[in-house]
Every structure is written in structure tokens, then in C-alpha cells.
Chains A and B, each alone.
Chain A
Amino acid sequence: MTDPLVRITQVKKSFGSTLVLDGVDLDVPKGEVVVVIGPSGSGKTTLLRCINALETYDDGSIKVDGVEIGFRGEPGGPRKRRSDGELARIRADIGMVFQQFNLFPHLTAVENVMLGLTKVRGMPPAQAREKALHWLDRVGLSQKTANLPSQLSGGQQQRVGIARAVAMDPKVLLLDEITSALDPELVGEVLSVVRGLAAEGMTMVVVTHEMTFARDVGTQLVFMDHGHKIAEGPPNEILRRSDNERLRSFLSRIEFRQDG
């Protein structure tokens, strides 16, 4: 059996005196979609941000395609935090889509997608534009390529955000509550893009509150609480399981929220 694409072992992280990740293990095999759920403050977003080094972790190991993310040096031996240049090279192969979209406000949709291609991948502008237009077409925005983010709806902005991430041909795509800031009627258009990517075998780690989506797209579901991984397994099994008190109470609150 080959190693999983993302391997997280015993990762610990504190903010000040608060322990937000308390020895988390997680494997993400190539082509799978791992969905992380849990109440706010459970550490799921922090875990996701550690995978592309937007947060540092204090202990343990996160490897993407065999490369340790936060540190260089021998495992067990002395480790040094990676430099900004090293991190930039590592991050270029890990895509991320944000809750608040975070598009570059001064660039049009197509320029948002092109920036990484030209400046990080060193692609000639014409080729980068072609690739960016291809991806904007894929997310259904071929009519909006020259619009600035301020001229796009939330759902459209988020689809640009997805195009920007996948155009870099990442090994793994991280989705951080990408529908939480959207009006309910715009959630569908964003999730259908993600479904398409999953169907094509894109490896993803997804933090979400959309349980239907988690069940449909996730190949593996992980429930986190207080910096611990509480449960893990196929979505249907996890969502029906009632042997864990915390999971059950979390799920009942989520159901309630959706009904309301």
C-alpha cells in the first residue's frame, strides 16, 4: 500500500495557553475527500490551516506527498522552521479556498486566477490567461472574467476562489467552510463545482457544516471536538452513529440549524 498523500501524526498546537490541537492523526489518501466536522473551536480550521502552513504547529508531523510542511530536519532530531521561500514553494502545490473568499480586490476575476500562474509558476501571460479562462469557464463564470470581485455575488466570488486554487494544479485542495459566508440560495452553485472536482478525483480536505454535502461527497468523515479527533469513518456510518454523546449532540444541533 502506498503512503497517503497527506499524513498528519500527533499534531499539537496551542494559542497561548489554549491547546487547540491535542495530538491529531489524520490520513488523506490520494483521490479521497476527507470531510472534517465539529463545533466551532474544535480546532478543525486550525488543522486545515496547518496543512499549508498558514498556521505553525508546535509538535508532531504533517507531510504532504512525503514533504514535512512546517519544519526541515530529521524526524525526532533537531528541527528548524522553514523559511518563507521554502514555504512558498510548498504552498504552491497545496490549494486553499477560504470562507471569506479572500479574492485580490484590485484584480479582475481572470487576473485573480492568473497571478499564481504567472508569478509562481512562471507561465507566460498568454498561456496563463488561457488556463485561467478555462477554469473560470469550468466554474461557470465565462461571462464574468473581466469583473472585479466587488462586482460579483458571493457565490461567484467563491467560484473564482476555487478556480484560483485549482488552476495551480494542486496535489491537494483545502476547503475552509467555503459556503458559510454565502446566502443560502448561493450555496448550491458553489457545492456543485466542488462535486465536479471530487468526481474527477481531486484530493480534498473539507471543513464544512453542510451535512448533506459531507455525506454525498465525503469518502471519509472526521468529527473533531476540543482539539481531538473523536470519530472517523464512512460518512453514512458516522452520521448515523449514536454511541458518542458529543457527536450526537453536535449532529442534533446541526440538524436544528438546518431546519431553522
Chain B
Amino acid sequence: MNYHINFNFVWKYADKLYWGLVLSIELAFISILIGCVIGLALAVVYNDGHPWLKRVVSAYVEVVRNLPLLLLIYLIFYGIPSIGGFAFDATESFVLTLSLYAGAYLVEVFRAGLAAVSPGVIDAGKAIGLTAWQRFAYVRFPTMLRIVLPSLSNAFISLFKDTSLASVIAVPELTFGANWIKTNTFRAVEVWIVVAGVYLVVGWILLAALRLLERVLMPGRRT
């Protein structure tokens, strides 16, 4: 074998990876945030809403969850401008896609969490005179959050990794940066090793941060 591993080419274009990583984190952060809002709102609608609304939420979840994310990315990026007539840039398109995708997964997480809040605890909230909104803000939501936190951690890490798919519509995130370096240096192995390491480290930091949050929110509970 006469291929010599040489990382110098990767370091030379390190700024591509650096800015790619920054964008990946931004994409994940914004999409997760919007996804959480969608997920939480729809979970409440599902749990407390009219049966008719329940069916709408289920339909959204089923459609999004049964389509590959890659297909959704293409569908929204190429589909919406051609039928709706308004074009948006690849980054916006991807954030929209990942938010909708995150929303569909997080509805399930929040829905299960809300259902797991004991009815007795909600009764206790009623008994001290809390209104429906106060019961949600001070009893149901914080109790639910502690229940779902472990599953939320998994979802967040998956969504962070899913940002790599944005490279297919030329959003200049980490994987796209890696592709660019590979194309221009023909040093595929080195680039992918470095980028794999970056995803690993970021995922690991994210997990550690969420575990820390779990410990802060749930002292006295060992997992």
C-alpha cells in the first residue's frame, strides 16, 4: 500500500471545518428550539385538545416520521419554490425542514411525558387553587420535563448529527466543509477521520451538558 496518511492538508483548510462546525451548531440549536416549541404545543393539543385536532397532530407525526429526512430536505428545498413560487436559501430551507422533523419526534416525547404526570399531582394543583394555565406552568410542565429529559438528550444528539444532511443542498456546515476539502485535496481519509472526531467530541460535550442538567433538575435521583 502506498497511501501515506498526511493531515497537513486538513489543517491547511481548518477554517472551513471551524466555520462549518459553527454553522452546524447554529442549525441544530435553532431547529431544536423551534422543534421544541412545535413539539410542546402539539403535545398539549394532543393531550387536552378536541379529538379532531388530535387526528391532525397524529397525521403530521406519522407523515414526517415515515419519510426519510433526506427526502424531506429535497422535498422542501426543491418542492416549495416550484409550487409556492417563493424561493428561500438553502440554510433557511434546511432549518425549516429540520424544525418540522424535530417537532414530529419531540411531540411524541412530550406527549408521553405529559401523559406520565400523575393525575393526583394535577389534582393537588387544583386543590390549592391554581388555574389551568398555572397548573401547566408550575406543575405539569416542570414535572413532565424531568420525566422526558433522558429521551430529550437522545433526540437532541440525533438532531445535531442530522445537520450533516444539510450538505446535500450545499449548506456550508461541517460535512459540507469536509467534502470541500476532500474534493480540493483528495485527502478523503484524513478529512473524514478529523470530522468524525469533531462530531464525536461535540456530541459527547452535548451529552455531558444534558446529563449535568438532569442532575441539577433531579437531585437525589441516580441514573
Contact = CB atoms under 8 A, between A and B. Distances in A.
Interface in A100-118: 100, 102-106, 115-116
B121 A104 contact: yes
A138 B221 CA distance: 28
SS class, residues of chain B in contact with chain A? helix
Nearest to B119: A102
Contact of B127 (A84, A91, A100): A91
A166 B132 CA distance: 22
B44 to A, nearest CB: 15
B128 A91 contact: yes
Interface residues of A, number: 32
A150 B121 CA distance: 14
Interface string B139-167: 10011001000000000000000000000
Contacts of B138: 104, 115, 119
Nearest to B127: A96
B138, B142, B143 pick with most chain A CB within 10 angstroms: B138
B146 A105 contact: yes
A54 B129 contact: no
A58 B142 CA distance: 34
B220 A105 contact: no
B124 interface: yes
A36 interface: no
A128 to B, nearest CB: 12
Contact of B130 (A53, A102, A103, A116): A116
Interface of B: 118, 120-121, 123-132, 134, 138-139, 142-143, 146, 217, 219-221
9 contacts: A52-B127, A85-B131, A89-B129, A93-B129, A102-B120, A104-B125, A120-B129, A120-B130, A168-B129
